[in-house]
Structure 1
């Protein structure tokens, strides 16, 4: 599978895993300490080919993703579930199977700068994504279906609104969830 966009990952092991899964150019952030030169390379790649940010599904990975999206608006974001990136007490892209990486990249979404508040907390309550004993698992499954990764309730609401997910797409995903059909 050939990916047109440049994929941004955290480290060399992540790069190796991505290159085993797809044919793509990769930029390394070298963790949280992203240099100005790396930010310039990411911006240049975004202008020329587009960028997909694929960071580890953990807190540091989300912080790196946020820094990149804040500095270089217009990047697509791809998410792996923690379960797909976990091996021997370690969470990271380098642990994911090639198929999981390809699926995450296929579902990559771009942050919309002028996000409309299409969804509210009531939508999340209505579909059992907040406040119930099974809400966390349901949010994880919905995030997988939509390709926006696992999120707590507040993060999920933000992602639904900032990735320009329409009401119809959300309803289809919620119906799949209600039928017990995950991703």
Structure 2
């Protein structure tokens, strides 16, 4: 996938200038809009809504609490925004003490994330919370680790049990897809 202005009609919502710099390092023609922190201003939300009238919006935030908060706020404002995710491991900084982030991801991780976009499709999901729990994704020993691995397998990031269930539902992940992903993770595939 080559990302440039000629064939990529989207604006990437990122947290800050370091994310923009990193994306432009590998994809020079890419357009971004920065939220400048987790308290997304009304002005930034208005800009994103306006841009969504003519371009696709892709939310690409850090794999941490603040990134998830921004993702929720922007998705609420622009429900048809596409979603890009990197794993926590892909966002780990080289220097100790720095926080997780898009700005630390490799070119390969960024490319993968931008080519494996997720769209909101809750009507396609047949998820059931009881079955979700029976699969070991909530309330059990090791469920956090299992959610993390299944999130990587499905490319939807990580969340606590309720957030992860909502995210799977939001992206239209079926019970069958989820069951398969859990089996593959448990079998080490």
Q: Which of the five TM-score ranges fits, normalised by the shorter chain?
A: 0.7 to 0.9
* TM-score (norm. length: structure 1): 0.86
> Once the 2 structures are TM-superposed, how far is the Cα of residue 169 of structure 1 from its aligned partner?
2.6
CA gap of 1:142–1:21, structure 2 versus 1, over 3 A, is farther
- Separation in 1, partners of 2:114, 2:187: 25
- Separation in 1, partners of 2:124, 2:176: 15
Contact 1:128/1:138 (8 A) holds in 2: yes
Q: Which 5+ residue runs of structure 2 have no aligned equivalent?
A: none
> Once the 2 structures are TM-superposed, how far is the Cα of residue 116 of structure 1 from its aligned partner?
6.6
1:95 equivalent among 101, 104, 113: 104
For residues 61-72 of structure 1, the aligned pairs below 5 Å read: 61-72=67-78
SS in 2 for 1:86: coil
- Length, aligned pairs only: 180
CA gap of 1:35–1:120, structure 2 versus 1, over 3 A, is same
CA gap of 1:143–1:21, structure 2 versus 1, over 3 A, is farther
SS in 2 for 1:83: coil
Alpha-carbon RMSD: 2.1
Contact 1:4/1:24 (8 A) holds in 2: no
- Separation in 2, partners of 1:121, 1:34: 31
Q: Which 5+ residue runs of structure 1 have no aligned equivalent?
A: none
